Amino acid sequence: MKNWISLSVILIIATIAGCSTTLENTGGFYVRGYDFTKYTEQGFLFTPESYLGTYDAVGQIHVDFIPEVREALTPTIQRPIQIEGFDRITHQGKYYYVEQPNTAKIIDHLYELSAEMGANAVTNFSVTSRAWEGISDIRIVTVSGFAIRRTDI
């Protein structure tokens, strides 16, 4: 009986050890930046700083990206359907497709709105993100700043 118990304990330990996963990461870099060259070529300035030259204030501007969220019709994990531009998440036992934010498009939208308002610069520029309704896998991305018309250029 002792041998049977000992053998059972050894088998349980071997099973648990065999099922455990090892988290491995080869390392690397995560780089995030925004290229404003196409705006600069058109005489438009984005800066995270204040503008020290003379200018006319146009107004504070915020653009929020709120992602499209679709409930997945096929709940099977074995063969999930991939939709380009969307991530698949699980929330409260259901599967959803969540649109991935495209920061370049959001900045384009901020630029277009600022230019329509008569601005040729956005100062105090920032990009932030927050969870939607407390769900960390669904992110609202906000680009914002203070739109101005530089008068000294």
Domains of the chain: 38-150 (3.30.110.70)
> Tokens 């984005």 — which residue?
46
Q: What is the pLDDT of residues 58-67, one digit of tens each?
A: 999 999 999 9
pTM for this prediction: 0.72
Q: Are 113 and 101 in contact (CB under 8 A)?
A: no
Contact 126, 144 (CB under 8 A): yes
* Region of 54 on the Ramachandran plot (φ > 0 left; ψ -120 to 50 alpha; else beta): beta
**Residues 81-112: tens digit of each pLDDT:** 778 888 888 888 888 889 999 999 999 999 99
The SS3 assignment for 140 reads: strand
